[in-house]
Structure 1
């Protein structure tokens, strides 16, 4: 498949592979990298919970500053963190954008009979900011902790085995699916000469999607049989040893707990 569609699919696949294979940051000597994986997972999830609880933009901005500070202390490039965290806020902005005209308030702009209010714009901005900070906090877990250590921490924290299985298998075999998709695109491009039109591009895309679905189902069946043959019915056993908890781990946990309490108090107290 040639043309814009083929190049776009190849670019998206390459970008997704780069996202899932980038663990160089987790091997560096930063603040979060030195923390116990259980502490990092619980603390950053607690900060994300504080973002979800709060409805005050000032608190959300303060938690955003904490996120940036943790990223800088952990040698995480802010550009990469923003790139990993931008998709979900943009999608949420698209979903809640009608609220800018549905929420009553003082009119800011009126276009084609639709009045955009200041209260609506404030709501959309606050919602997108909360989603962005929350996703950035959870992205820090993946960027600063090897995935195997995250799985081990989830098992030690008594997360349900079924959930751990789903996360581990999904993460592991996304690589295989991306490889399969790239092979399909490469095979199609090697058999196509010249530039194809939009209609031909969409026809090729439908064929590739169908073939990819069939190969994915077949790969899943073979993976399942292979896991059962190797004793895959047993729960995943963590093979990463937890580190000794020090004062910095306790400080990070205290920060997370304080953020949850402050967010709850500000939201629910009159």
Structure 2
């Protein structure tokens, strides 16, 4: 596949593969890397919940600072963390952007006859920042904890088996699907000469999408048969031993608990 569509598909596929294969940070010796995976899951999820509860800009900025501190202590490159956490907040900002003119308040600017209010701007900024901090916190789990340890921790925390199956299989076979898509694009490019037009690129994209869907369904059937042949009816068992909980683990849990309770008190108790 050549043209704009082909280049776009190749870029997206390469970016997605980079996201799912970046586990080098988890092998370093950092604060979160030394924590028990169960503690990391519970504590970071609690901090993300606290961010979602809060409705105060100052508190959200404080959680952003805490997130950056955890990243620094865990030897997580801030550039990589921001790159992972930037896409979702930007999309969220576009979704809530109309609130800048819909919410009543003092007019701070006028664009194309639309009055932008201070309350609307504050809402958009707060919402975008909350989403960004929440995504960054959850990204810390992926960056600092190997996926196998995450699966083992989910099972040890008594997460429903069906959900663990879905998460494990989805993560594992995304690599395979991306490879399949890359092979389809490479095969199409090897049979195409010249630069395709935009219309031709969309036509090729539809054909590749149909072929990719059929191959995905076929591969899914084969994967299912292979799992059943290897005893796939049994629930996934933890294949990593849990670490002993130390003072650092307890401190992280206390910080997460205080954050959740504090966010709730600030929102509903004051």
TM-score (norm 2): 0.99
Q: State the shift of 1:167 in Å.
A: 0.4
Determine the C-alpha separation between the residues in 1 that align with 2:4 and 2:79. Answer: 27
Q: State the shift of 1:181 in Å.
A: 0.4
Alignment-derived partner of residue 147 in structure 1: 147
Alignment-derived partner of residue 32 in structure 1: 32
Q: Give the match's secondary structure for 2:248.
A: helix
Determine the C-alpha separation between the residues in 2 that align with 1:13 and 1:190. Answer: 18
Alignment-derived partner of residue 228 in structure 2: 228
Alignment-derived partner of residue 171 in structure 1: 171
1:101 equivalent in alignment to 2:82: no
Alignment-derived partner of residue 205 in structure 1: 205
Alignment-derived partner of residue 80 in structure 1: 80
Determine the C-alpha separation between the residues in 1 that align with 2:22 and 2:218. Answer: 28
How is 1:1-270 mapped onto 2 (pairs within 5 angstroms)? Answer: 1-270=1-270
Determine the C-alpha separation between the residues in 2 that align with 1:37 and 1:137. Answer: 14
Q: State the shift of 1:4 in Å.
A: 2.3
Q: State the shift of 1:3 in Å.
A: 1.8
Equivalenced residues, count: 270
Q: Give the match's secondary structure for 1:168.
A: helix
- Contiguous gaps of at least 5 residues in structure 2: none
Q: Give the match's secondary structure for 1:86.
A: helix
Determine the C-alpha separation between the residues in 2 that align with 1:225 and 1:109. Answer: 62
Determine the C-alpha separation between the residues in 1 that align with 2:206 and 2:188. Answer: 12
Q: Give the match's secondary structure for 1:226.
A: helix
1:2-37 Cα distance to aligned partner (Å, 9 max, x none): 122211211111111111011110011111000000
Q: Give the match's secondary structure for 2:109.
A: strand
Determine the C-alpha separation between the residues in 2 that align with 1:41 and 1:30. Answer: 16
Q: State the shift of 1:115 in Å.
A: 1.4
Determine the C-alpha separation between the residues in 2 that align with 1:111 and 1:206. Answer: 39
Determine the C-alpha separation between the residues in 2 that align with 1:186 and 1:11. Answer: 13
TM-score (norm 1): 0.99
Determine the C-alpha separation between the residues in 1 that align with 2:196 and 2:59. Answer: 52
Give the ranges of 4+ consecutive aligned residues of structure 1 lying more than 3 Å apart after TM superposition: none
Determine the C-alpha separation between the residues in 2 that align with 1:170 and 1:12. Answer: 18
Determine the C-alpha separation between the residues in 1 that align with 2:177 and 2:70. Answer: 33
Determine the C-alpha separation between the residues in 2 that align with 1:210 and 1:86. Answer: 31
Q: Give the match's secondary structure for 1:227.
A: helix
Determine the C-alpha separation between the residues in 2 that align with 1:95 and 1:224. Answer: 38
RMSD, aligned α-carbons = 0.8
Determine the C-alpha separation between the residues in 1 that align with 2:260 and 2:119. Answer: 26
Determine the C-alpha separation between the residues in 2 that align with 1:113 and 1:229. Answer: 66
Q: State the shift of 1:109 in Å.
A: 2.0
Determine the C-alpha separation between the residues in 2 that align with 1:268 and 1:62. Answer: 19
Q: Give the match's secondary structure for 1:115.
A: strand
